[in-house]
């Protein structure tokens, strides 16, 4: 509660970025060299945005979660790059906080007004922490998977080779 709006937004977004990073890593093969080549600065999954896109692109999250994560990222960027005095009361930020799908659903169904989440700061705080906790829990539930080709996959690959070789041969002119 003592943290500034700018500080809180940067810290919570960093925690969420870390949780999303871990979530994606647990869904990859257990090959440290390959996984590390995807993360880090100047790597395909080196940014918060890229991790959000990958998580949605691989169908690990819904469109609503995708939009909420991007809204958190956008708010984080506003606080990180605006040198002026801004807060969760700043209209553009307050408007973004009102778009969190998870809170709109919660607030619409919560019958006790005191349990509804309102105000930009609380909306950002609750949404960021909820998604951070979600990705941490999901990461702990999942174990690295080892790829094992099924018999069907092996047969498919085996059957494709002759077709491929045939298609690569030059066409013989017909007499």
The string of pLDDT tens digits covering residues 75-130 is 999 999 998 999 999 999 999 999 999 988 888 888 888 888 888 999 999 999 99
Question: What's the distance, CA 92 to chain centroid?
Answer: 23
CA-to-CA distance for 106 and 98, rounded, in angstroms?
12
- 54 near 46, Cβ under 8 Å? no
pTM: 0.81
The pLDDT value recorded for residue 59 is: 95
- 123 near 98, Cβ under 8 Å? yes
Question: What's the distance, CA 97 to chain centroid?
Answer: 18
Rg of the chain, C-alpha, whole Å: 23
Segment 125-147 shows an average pLDDT of: 86
- 112 near 106, Cβ under 8 Å? no
pLDDT band at 136 (very low <50, low <70, confident <90, very high): very high
Burial class (CB in 10 A: 0-12, 13-18, 19+), 56: middle
- 99 near 124, Cβ under 8 Å? no
Angle at 125 between CA 88 and CA 56, to 5 degrees: 105
Q: What is the pLDDT of residues 28-66, one digit of tens each?
A: 888 889 889 999 888 999 999 999 999 999 999 999 999
Angle at 49 between CA 48 and CA 50, to 5 degrees: 95
With 70 as the cut, is the pLDDT of residue 172 above it? no
């Amino acid at each position: 509660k003592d943290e500034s709006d700018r500080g809180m937004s940067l810290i919570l977004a960093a925690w969420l970025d870390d949780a999303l990073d871990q979530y994606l890593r647990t869904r990859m093969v257990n090959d440290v060299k390959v996984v590390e080549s995807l993360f880090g600065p100047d790597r395909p999954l080196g940014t918060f945005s890229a991790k959000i896109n990958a998580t949605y692109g691989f169908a690990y999250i819904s469109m609503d979660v995708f939009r909420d994560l991007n809204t958190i990222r956008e708010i984080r960027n506003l606080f990180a790059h605006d040198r002026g005095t801004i807060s969760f009361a700043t209209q553009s930020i307050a408007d973004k906080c009102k778009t969190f799908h998870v809170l709109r659903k919660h607030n619409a169904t919560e019958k006790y007004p005191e349990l509804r989440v309102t105000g930009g700061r609380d909306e950002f705080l609750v949404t960021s922490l909820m998604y951070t906790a979600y990705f941490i829990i999901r990461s702990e539930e999942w174990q690295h998977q080892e790829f094992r080709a099924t018999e069907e996959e092996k047969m498919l690959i085996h059957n494709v080779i002759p077709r491929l070789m045939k298609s690569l041969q030059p066409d013989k002119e017909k007499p």
